[in-house]
Structure 1
Amino acid sequence: MTSTTTVPAVALRGGTSIPQLGFGVFQVPDGETAQAVSLALDAGYRSIDTAAVYGNEAGVGAGIAASGLPRDEVFVTSKLWIDSLSREAVRPAYEKSLELLGLDRLDLYLIHWPAPGLGRYVEAWEGLVALQEAGLVGEIGVSNFQPAHLDAIIAATGVTPAVNQVELHPAFAQRALRERHRELGIVTEAWSPLGQGTVLGDPVLGAIADAHGVTPAQVVLRWHLQAGTVAIPKSVTPERIAANLDVLGFELPAEQVAAIDGLDRTDGRIGPDPDAFNG
């Protein structure tokens, strides 16, 4: 087993860095979140990703507080929900998240979805920029934004998001979007990095896992790391929480990376289409 203290970090635009493997709490009930976060922090995670709409920010805060870790050792992300997509609604929503988390600032705050049909994501981005200019938040970014959405907010404000958190896994590799991120200097962060388990039974991953003496999930997370992606796997099982972090002791050679790349499918998306989803 490898040391969790060597988890690599990815530099962000504002001069900070985010651990490349974080812990996600999507669909974890608030009453179970504190324990899950405590287990993750005990295992060595130092990045926790939540969102207002998850309804478990209080549990995240309780888990962080119970860990006893210094605040500056835990990178905390939350997200602005669609019901607050206006310039004036951003700060109250942000302050509500801070209150539930029991924190005085976030390391990263994201717009959760562009909801383009509502026509308000640009002004919401202006609100996040204002938060950052006031020194109230560390880094700001977006989630589920397509290239046209990114171009619109950058054109309106001159401020490029630090991160775009998107669905990304071997069956839905988002190559064109990731290339646009590289051009803009945006870090790609993967939600559902394991494809919600749907890809883990693929024989290609099974053969690679057997070759390294690891699990298919560990192979996929290693693939993310080698691509430079930030990944936030979710689990409430102690063994899987630990295993998902233990991916530093092996490396995928180029031919195995190419084999995993070959699992990409045009119909691989699991979640909503960002161009059509409006909440």
Structure 2
Amino acid sequence: MATTVAPPPTKQQQPATAEDKARDARRKDRIDRWLWRILGYVFFLGLWEYASGGLMDETLLPGPTHVFTTFLELWDTGAVPGAFATTLTRIGMGFSIAFVVGMVVGVLMQNRFLNGFFRDAVTIGVTTPGLIWALLTAIIFGNRTQGPLLAIVLTTFAIITVNVAEGIKSIPRDLVDMAKAFDIGVVKRNRQIVLPHLAPFMFTGIRFGFSIAWKVTVLTEVFSSSSGIGFEMRTASQLFALDEFLTWILGFYVLALFLEKVVLEQIERRFFGWRTTIGGVK
């Protein structure tokens, strides 16, 4: 008489929790966004490669493969690291000064009299194109270091100022009054209430100001500098070396995207890591 062996009991699948569903949805959204972003790069680079030699002469429009080869050649000569280091140093110094000035002026503008003193200067700083400051500093300072630094400060400090001033105005007065009622010190009150509230406004000003500082720095280097990315662009255009010119432009784009999407976003994400999304899922 044959005996049958009962199959081992199967483990019942646990129903997905809300946290699992939210995690899967975020993963799917991240994959979709990266897929379409990569497809966008493939499409435009492919169109560029086809136009070079197909629609236009390659000497007038070098293709991405030619530009990439030129980039490697310039890197081997040391021109790329040196130019990028020079430009980044100018941006770092100029934007640091602009950030401090913008923070101080933004705080001082809470006073009614100082608000009237600084208001028109901040308005001029926000509305004046960076090209004007680049030309003005180039005429005054020539190829000296002070020119790019001053152009960066004049162009970007007002953006920091406006964001800080608006952030201070929107601080909940009830929280400040409650902290004073409980006799909380000024240092702890600023650290626990004021700074966390101002942080989003500060990061917004930093991201917008940093993007403008890039443009102004390169403009000043194009007009008056003897080193940096802008100077290399000017030299390549004067020599009609379009492959080198496009190489410097693409290098500028890649570095700007890296600093914006990787460095600044990572710092912002780490700074606001305590925040939770809707539903309490990190």
TM-score (norm 2): 0.21
Give the structure with higher Rg (CA). Answer: 2
Structure with bigger helix share is 2
